[in-house]
Structure 1
Amino acid sequence: METTPVLVVGGGLVGLSASLFLAWRGIPTVLVERHPGSSPHPRAIGYTPRTLELLRAVGVAGRVPPIPPGFRLRRARVESLAGKWFEESPWTPENARKSTLEYSPCTGAAVAQDRLEPLLRDRALELGADIRLETELIRLEQDAEGGTAWLRRRDGAESTLRAAYVIAADGHRSPIREALGIGRTGRGHMRTVRSVLFRAPLDAYLEAGVTQFQIEQEGFSAFLTTYGDGRWVLIFSDDQQRDEATLRAMVGKAIGRTDLPVELITTGRWELSALIADRFSSGRVFLAGDAAHTLPPSRGGYGANTGIEDAHNLAWKLAEVLAGTSTPALLDTYDAERRPIAWLRHQQIFARNDYKAEAAGASEGVRILDDDAMEFGQLYRSAAVLGAGDDLPPAARPEEWAGQPGARAPHAWVDRGGERLSTLDLFQRGWVLIAEDERWLPAAKHLGIEAVRIGVDVLPSEPESLRKALGLEQGGASLIRPDGYVGWRSVDLPEDPRGALTDALAALRR
């Protein structure tokens, strides 16, 4: 019987991300995917700056074409592309207090899912991941020590694999979740719709900066958007199957002209739903991505991007436990941290105009949060965070958090050895203590964690502003987790820095 520390089931965006993040941390991983590759009908297209930060750390972001700084996803209600344009609808109401601060070294990316997945797959393979396409999980059993998986290749050959831990990234229908008996709650199934993917020379209609179009004609309502590579998708508002001639006619109606060459590529069937698993783990099996939460496509990028950060959150915790530096209790914080984020995004989707009419009470009393708060300022509360109380909001902008434990460590530009870096580049590999006072250094050395001294190891352009962003006095220190989130902070210098840091790290590692 083969063995592996981690088995990932599902080779979509989230499964590949999990395999990549684990391989980057040196954890041998087997990924199985029953299909031969990416779906011919891409789904996701928009990836947030936070997702690009994660990919930047593992050497992928440079391979993904970025969107221009300041880009925002715009949607308009139109008769057709060539017909009358009625009005635009914002994703989030304009905020008079919108910050002008720079929150990230990254911009987002707009690339079709079937273009991004091969980049993730190739990088994971470079780092040593074992990715097995056309291999299906046919049975999974777990016990106190791990899981046993029965696998079948496309040629019919069967094998057995033993894994210490299993990540179920096997989609919204998730056979693994169903077998575990994990239920789901939320807004529920909204509707099932059909779509057609096609190629046509329509770039001229993108010059105004609008890329999403709600088509409204008498007797015809549909949604049209571009994948930015010459391909477009037209999503109907019903579950009706249409023949090729009808599909061509519908595409022509959406474009508003019939004199352009149109290549029909493939069709799709989509279930729009909003459901959150009642728990994200069972024993040694962890749910990620659509297996854990399904959310309808949104301009906030709350679907695929949420799943990718699930994988990132889980990867460092598995790496810590497998290395023996943290107890298995650390893995309990995956559900504690990621399930509230899924619920937060569920609420925010239905509070906004795009889905407000379909909320069915799911957004009652919900306040729309700032986009930058949702993107860069979600808050984790768990045993892997010291000092994030229930009195704090679920998200806030980075300058409002000012280094609050449970929030993502803030971005700032610093110089290290003549190289300009983001503070984010200092994190994500392991635990990092960032401080200005040298009296913290023996404590970090004693515990075997990296110490970064402000003003010595890194030179910020404005030392006082970095200290303020971290919420520190001159003698304070911040302990950053391997995922780039603040785990603990001492605002000033305690009487016993070594004891304080030792106690904090022990508590965080449980």
Structure 2
Amino acid sequence: MADHEVPVLIAGGSLVGLTTSLLLAARGVPHMLVEQHRGTAIHPRAASFHQGTMEVFRGVGMQEAVDAAAEREFVQNGAIIAVESLAGRELKYFYRSYNDGVERLSPTSRLFITQIGLEPLLRDRARELGADHRFATELVHFEQDDDGVTSVIRPRDRGAEQTVRSRYLVAADGAHSPVRKALGIEVNGRGVFADCVTIYFKADVRGMLGDRNLSVVYVNHPELLGFFRFSINADSGFLAVFATIGPDGSRDSNVGENISTEQCAGFVRTALGAGPEFPVEIDNVQRWGAAAGSAARFQDGRVFLVGDAAHVMPPTGGFGGNTGIADAANLAWKLAMVHSGAAGAGLLDTYDPERRPIGHLTSEQAYTRYVLRVDDSLPKNDLMDPLDDASIELGQVYRSDEQPPLEDPRNPTGRPGTRAPHLPLERDGVSISTLDLVRDDFVLLTGSEGQAWRDAAASLAASEGFPLKAHGIAATGPVVDKEDRFAKAYGIGAGGTVLVRPDRVIAWRTADPADDPRGTLEEVMTRQLFR
């Protein structure tokens, strides 16, 4: 007999593990999360969050809280720039403003918030919704069988080992994932190519910043390569150092080895462009490896890898945490529907083929940016061409064997496997997004002549228990298409319809009416839910 029985056990309680917990809790799935550390993040770490991530938080009612917390930490919507030093020559602007060109693609914005600011929000909301979190608790061992997973957990401070019986195990236990290693899953890719340090410091840099709003500052100095982020008051920040450069131009990527506090202060002064007497106080130094790669499998039976356990990438582009949150968003609704009995277990087998190609592509894109922005001495064989940031963030295509893996979200197609395009709508006099119509269920969106489709959806939900809702979008009615763009953006006619999954991915569409809308929709839903 197990000490605890839960549908899902999550190993790892950092950014991605907490997001997985929140999404499961929001869907009413009982679960336990174990995390070996005593609490949430104590170092800022991931700070840039993309619109797709913010759409996930919006979907569980967290957007306003995250926006407010972000405003307390950083001046938002700043530039991403490369400089020789903060006080020295500007080399290149990657963004003049972080949301340039993407403002109309989403009801959310890209923003900067640290894991220190974000993780407690996720933890507290998940607990409010019933999540069982056990920090300072290790996952010691696990074994899976045909019916579930038996895990052994152990409190770090006191208490005996306990067993947890779960139907599924989600490994959100980081880049060195013990769960992944126990399963014998290899990580393929570029490996570790730099031994880096992140230096957390206090220094008054207001005079060097001037009136510039700089969100990320890449430093390409003759003596070092790295990047800055500064606090909202410009009196502290961190410098990530990727490599140092010798007088002869040789690069040393083993920065973290035997580094001293004095060396760290010197690196900060060099990157700032400050003299040796400039006051710098070192708070902390974190050593880490810059790496790029993805796991050979994201699923092994009843065990799923998410976040850094599934893929690792350098910080160039800010894709790491965002990709992990997209993993969680893909997996959580599937676990919820299988748990409730709405879907068959085969639905979970779609996680790996959907997320693994995206994890590999994004890891390679982060590596490309590292080579082009930071260290062009790295091998360029098989270097992927840099792709558009917005397409990586919002244009990912699932099940794309016969089509490009990304599409431009500025020109959406409405194809199955793509994200449902954001369009401004009005419902009961309130401005909303098409994405706000999608929550826990599948949603059928129809044109102005789609009443037969909506009737079929209501009938199937009532008689067959399909998790399905329907909305008509037209020039008049309960949901108003304010810009008359719905049919074109979703690739349907006035009598057509499109089916959207709970993770806002288009599952199926038809441009025109059907002779038997109920029968057609029943067949589609049965296939989508693996019944």
Fold-level match, TM-score > 0.5? yes
Normalising to structure 1: TM-score of the pair? 0.91
| 2:152 counterpart SS class | strand
Of the structure 1 ranges 435-444 and 212-221, higher mean CA displacement relative to structure 2 is found in 212-221
| Equivalent position of 1:272 in the other structure | 290
Normalising to structure 2: TM-score of the pair? 0.87
Q: 1:497 to 1:204 in 2, by over 3 A?
A: farther
Answer yes or no: is the 8 Å Cα contact 1:444–1:451 preserved in 2.
yes
Q: 1:270 to 1:70 in 2, by over 3 A?
A: closer
| Equivalent position of 2:80 in the other structure | 74
Question: Per-residue CA shift, 1:3-52, capped at 9, x if unaligned?
Answer: 01111000110000000000001101110001111343221110011111
Percent identity between matched residues is 39
Q: Does 1:164 align with 2:175?
A: no
Of the structure 1 ranges 491-500 and 162-171, higher mean CA displacement relative to structure 2 is found in 491-500
Q: 1:173 to 1:480 in 2, by over 3 A?
A: same
| Equivalent position of 1:147 in the other structure | 149
| 1:74 counterpart SS class | strand
Amino acid at match of 1:446: S
Query: Which of 116, 119, 122 is the equivalent residue of 2:121?
Result: 119
- Listed as ranges, the gaps of 5+ residues in structure 1 are 93-97, 382-388
Q: Does 1:235 align with 2:240?
A: yes
1:302-313 correspondence to structure 2 within 5 Å: 302-313=319-330
Q: 1:347 to 1:219 in 2, by over 3 A?
A: closer
Amino acid at match of 1:401: P
Query: Which of 407, 430, 436 is the equivalent residue of 2:441?
Result: 430
| Equivalent position of 2:270 in the other structure | 253
| 1:415 counterpart SS class | strand
Query: Which of 460, 475, 481 is the equivalent residue of 2:481?
Result: 460
Question: Per-residue CA shift, 1:74-128, capped at 9, x if unaligned?
Answer: 12131x323x214115389xxxxx9677110100120111111111111111111
Q: Does 1:189 align with 2:192?
A: yes
| Equivalent position of 2:432 in the other structure | 421
Q: 1:91 to 1:42 in 2, by over 3 A?
A: same
Question: Per-residue CA shift, 1:220-246, capped at 9, x if unaligned?
Answer: 444333354643112332123333333
Amino acid at match of 2:482: S
Partners of 2:219 and 2:169 in 1: CA distance: 43
Amino acid at match of 1:146: G
Answer yes or no: is the 8 Å Cα contact 1:141–1:148 preserved in 2.
yes
Answer yes or no: is the 8 Å Cα contact 2:41–2:119 preserved in 1.
no
| Equivalent position of 2:373 in the other structure | 354
Of the structure 1 ranges 450-459 and 1-10, higher mean CA displacement relative to structure 2 is found in 450-459
1:75-474 correspondence to structure 2 within 5 Å: 75-78=81-84, 80-82=85-87, 84-88=88-92, 90=94, 102-157=104-159, 158-206=161-209, 207-228=211-232, 230-236=235-241, 237=243, 238-255=255-272, 256-257=274-275, 261-299=279-317, 301-352=318-369, 353-354=372-373, 357=376, 360-361=379-380, 363-364=382-383, 366-381=384-399, 390-436=401-447, 437-448=450-461, 449-455=468-474, 456-463=477-484, 465-474=485-494
Answer yes or no: is the 8 Å Cα contact 1:76–1:210 preserved in 2.
no
* Post-superposition offset of 1:363: 4.2
Q: 1:129 to 1:73 in 2, by over 3 A?
A: farther
Amino acid at match of 1:443: A
Cα RMSD, aligned residues only: 2.3
Amino acid at match of 2:481: P
| 2:82 counterpart SS class | strand
Answer yes or no: is the 8 Å Cα contact 2:298–2:305 preserved in 1.
yes
Equivalenced residue count is: 493
| Equivalent position of 1:497 in the other structure | 517
Of the structure 1 ranges 108-117 and 311-320, higher mean CA displacement relative to structure 2 is found in 108-117
Answer yes or no: is the 8 Å Cα contact 1:370–1:396 preserved in 2.
no
Question: Per-residue CA shift, 1:450-489, capped at 9, x if unaligned?
Answer: 11012333011133x1111111101000001011110000
Q: 1:216 to 1:408 in 2, by over 3 A?
A: closer
Q: 1:204 to 1:148 in 2, by over 3 A?
A: farther
Q: 1:258 to 1:357 in 2, by over 3 A?
A: closer
Partners of 1:246 and 1:400 in 2: CA distance: 49
